Structure 1
Amino acid sequence: MEHIFGSILICLIMPIKGKKITLQSYLIALMGVSCLLSIYKTAFPVFVDLKDKDLLDLQKCPSCYGVNMCPAIITGEIRLVDWSQYTIGRFMNARNVYFGDFRNSPVVMKKLGHDWELEELDNAICIASNLSVGCEVNKAIRSLTKEVTDEIFVPDIGGGPSGHIDYKIQTEDIGNGSDFLHCSSSRKTQFIMDKILKKNHGQHQITIIENIITLMMINEEALIGQAFPYEEGFPFPKYYGACGRLVIEELVNRTIADFVYSAWESRAAVAYRLLGLAERMTNISSNFSLYWTDVTEHNLGLDEKNNPLILDAENIIIVDLEEVETVRAGDWDVPFTSEGVGCESCFSYNVDNLCYHAKTDHNIYALCHGLLSPGAFSHRYPQGLLYNIPEYVLQKFPELPSLLEECKWPKNDGGRFKAATELMKILEEFKDLLSNS
């Protein structure tokens, strides 16, 4: 900063040299103002530099999210748009979310945490590596990875002396972190690792594993985006990749909030799709269940083909159904009915009930009670998405209000599953009446 203060001093002195208001002194004053403006632009730039090291945190890699998108940032293929491009916007951007354009497609870029959360991540990595707070996390993550990762030699099928090394992360040794660490299972961890290593084929395996461990400790969104990719039909926005501690994803412009004041038929079409999504997530793929724990009108959206998407995957709990069957804890094979924990007017749940049951109605509970029915959790839309049911609909389907109530608070065993099935049958009639919001 010394050169900046020196330059400011020169700029301030220059106009004083003129004793009279002459053309010369006027020109000198102009030069002083121009000089100050030049220094201001240098010290306080108007536009955010996407290549800024403090934004990308590349110096912290491999304690970062990846580097595959760095060439696109360095060459300018990705550029910031709207308020995200202005420096002043960073003072109001506590969530560290930026909007941009990549090859003429809108993208959203996330640091996956507030500044204080990222600082806590660094501290956690240092402490877990038996180092003091403030250590060099790019070195600490290597130490932590060695501590929580087992190397397993896998011989060739022919039985010769050659083979390859497989790696297994012991998530129990990582400590606290993202929701991924709930319901731990070696098969779940291996599934995530295999999918991400395959996606990043050609990069050093240990470096990718260090990225994975970092994400496990801060935010699982990038793990889910790679393990359950949009390209394979999963309900998450397209994940492009990362550069340092910045991930790049497809920007989905339509959220459920955009439909709150649409015609009832259009809202019914949205509800039909969301109920289908809730059912699908309960056994999404490879014998895994995904349970959402943050259902809001802003966290759910529709893609260009009107398929429902989960826009924020930070709060997803992944349950390995094979692990549930292996452990067989208590009444593991009895479908579990979610009732909330200590709060009827807010979204609450017990993680263990999700971890140790082969089937729960949690996703339907979150959707019906949280978004669709009267008394929804949203403070802005407590009337629920399906408010003001038209008279002609009630005449044809008089059971609709009671089904919504049963889906919200079931009176019978398995009532929520049955209510959701019946609701979908009714709402299917309106599935093609979706407006553009």
Structure 2
Amino acid sequence: MDHLRDQDRLRLLYTLAVNSHPILLQMFPGVEGWPFPRYLGSCGRLAVSASTRPLRHFLGAAAEVAADLALQLLAVLRSMAANDLKYFFYFTRVDAGTFGVFSNGHLFIRDASALGIIDREEGSQPMDGQQEYRDIFSCLAVDCQAAFVSCDSIRDEHSLVMVCQDLLPKLLAGKFLPPVQERIDAFLQRCARGFGDSQGAEEAMEELAEMLKPLRSCDSRFAYRYPDCRYSDKY
């Protein structure tokens, strides 16, 4: 923040402490491929976005819609864990309101304040007594007595496990015929417990994606990828 004036620094720190959502939308704009809505402005904790619905409205959707949204969700997790800028995004909480869906069927992160970011190029710094110091902004949004979470404690599969525990079972439960549903349910149960060292997050997402890809359809309901899905292996 060396190029900022003192007043700008204070404004930025205060905004980050009270509501980090608009800052993230400006730092990682959707037009550059990040899974966020376009930033139009904010006032306090209020952000405005047109033609969107939270993911909770799709928990009872048809099987092909659920499969499509689940595949998009896996793609978002993959892009947030591995990208050219070497940032690792992880969720501090996940529910059906964390994500939203545009009118064209494209899924995005609706609540960016639920994200933590680790700069992989900076590496992790050891925690010591001096780092327990908190400035005046640290107590605005969180309990000052709460201990900071070490970056070393955030594993690559952190967000995937949270999604398997709290979101994917609600989206995919009872949607498909056996034995496909049984395979999906078994995977989600294993994912929710964590994978340990035998399987990484990337391999786990690929495994679930291979189950879901044959279950989605290519038609005008999915305007974000139609009619491209008829001519491109990407979809």
TM-score category, normalised to shorter length:
0.7 to 0.9
Name the amino acid aligned to 2:63: W
Are residue 400 (structure 1) and residue 199 (structure 2) matched? no
Match of 1:295 among 94, 108, 111: 94
Task: Give 3-state SS (helix, strand or coil) of 2:48's partner.
Answer: strand
The residue number in structure 1 matching 2:39 is 239
The residue number in structure 1 matching 2:139 is none
Q: Does the Cα contact within 8 Å between 1:272 and 1:427 map onto a contact in 2?
A: yes
Q: How many Å separate the matches in 2 of 1:370 and 1:396?
A: 20
Name the amino acid aligned to 1:272: L
Q: Which 4+ runs in 1 deviate beyond 6 A?
A: none
In the TM superposition, what is the alpha-carbon distance from 1:411 to its structure 2 partner? Answer: 5.4
Are residue 370 (structure 1) and residue 166 (structure 2) matched? yes
Q: 1:412 to 1:241 in 2, by over 3 A?
A: closer
Q: Does the Cα contact within 8 Å between 1:364 and 1:416 map onto a contact in 2?
A: no
In the TM superposition, what is the alpha-carbon distance from 1:218 to its structure 2 partner? Answer: 1.0
In the TM superposition, what is the alpha-carbon distance from 1:399 to its structure 2 partner? Answer: 3.0
Q: How many Å separate the matches in 1 of 2:161 and 2:180?
A: 26
Are residue 425 (structure 1) and residue 210 (structure 2) matched? yes
Are residue 351 (structure 1) and residue 137 (structure 2) matched? no
Name the amino acid aligned to 2:16: M
Name the amino acid aligned to 2:12: I
> 1:90-112 deviations in whole A, cap 9, x for unaligned?
xxxxxxxxxxxxxxxxxxxxxxx
Tell me the TM-score normalized by structure 2: 0.72
Q: Does the Cα contact within 8 Å between 1:291 and 1:316 map onto a contact in 2?
A: yes
Q: How many Å separate the matches in 2 of 1:371 and 1:247?
A: 24
Task: Give 3-state SS (helix, strand or coil) of 1:239's partner.
Answer: coil
Are residue 310 (structure 1) and residue 130 (structure 2) matched? no
The residue number in structure 2 matching 1:24 is none
> 1:117-147 deviations in whole A, cap 9, x for unaligned?
xxxxxxxxxxxxxxxxxxxxxxxxxxxxxxx
Q: Does the Cα contact within 8 Å between 1:287 and 1:320 map onto a contact in 2?
A: yes
The residue number in structure 2 matching 1:390 is 176
Q: Report sequence identity in percent.
A: 23
Q: 1:401 to 1:248 in 2, by over 3 A?
A: closer
Aligned length: 200
> 1:169-210 deviations in whole A, cap 9, x for unaligned?
xxxxxxxxxxxxxxxxxxxxxxxxxxxxxxxxxxxx554433
Q: Does the Cα contact within 8 Å between 2:63 and 2:215 map onto a contact in 1?
A: no
* Map 1:25-424 → 2, pairs under 5 A: 166-167=3-4, 205-242=5-42, 245=44, 248-324=47-123, 327=125, 351-352=149-150, 355-356=151-152, 359-373=155-169, 384-391=170-177, 394-395=178-179, 399-410=183-194, 412-415=196-199, 417=201, 418-424=203-209
In the TM superposition, what is the alpha-carbon distance from 1:238 to its structure 2 partner? Answer: 1.1
> 1:151-175 deviations in whole A, cap 9, x for unaligned?
5xxxxxxxxxxxxxx34xxxxxxxx
In the TM superposition, what is the alpha-carbon distance from 1:319 to its structure 2 partner? Answer: 0.8
Q: Does the Cα contact within 8 Å between 1:260 and 1:267 map onto a contact in 2?
A: yes
Unpaired segments ≥5 residues, structure 1: 1-148, 152-165, 168-204, 330-349, 374-383
Q: 1:246 to 1:401 in 2, by over 3 A?
A: closer
The structure whose RCO (Cα within 8 Å, separation 6+) is larger is: 2
Task: Give 3-state SS (helix, strand or coil) of 2:25's partner.
Answer: helix
Q: How many Å separate the matches in 1 of 2:23 and 2:198?
A: 32
> 1:308-361 deviations in whole A, cap 9, x for unaligned?
211111221111112226x489xxxxxxxxxxxxxxxxxxxx832xx1268521
Structure ID, larger Rg: 1
Q: How many Å separate the matches in 2 of 1:368 and 1:424?
A: 13
Q: 1:273 to 1:406 in 2, by over 3 A?
A: same
